[in-house]
Amino acid sequence: MQFESFADFLNMGGYAFYVWLSFGVTFLAMGIIAIQSFSKHRDLLKQVVVEQERKARIKQARQQQQDSM
């Protein structure tokens, strides 16, 4: 271990702010792109279901018009 104590590790030889800021932003950005991709996947599948129901409603409305003609 390069550092004597955990506090020294956190201090990063005086550059704590820059090191932890860059690591934080990096993993934050990676997290955001990953989560965004997964939630888009969920929304897309939900959208497919909505499209299915929309088709069913349109078909059903067409039937009603045929019968009422």
The residues that touch other proteins, with contacts defined as CB under 8 A, are 1-3, 9, 12-15, 18-19, 21-23, 25-26, 29-30, 32-34, 37-38, 40-41, 44-55, 57-58, 61, 65
Q: What is the tally of helices (H) and strands (E) in the chain? A: 2, 0
Minimum distance from residue 27 beta carbon to other proteins (Å) = 8
Minimum distance from residue 35 beta carbon to other proteins (Å) = 10
CB within 8 A of 1, min separation 6: which ones? 9
Amino acid at site 13? G
Minimum distance from residue 7 beta carbon to other proteins (Å) = 13
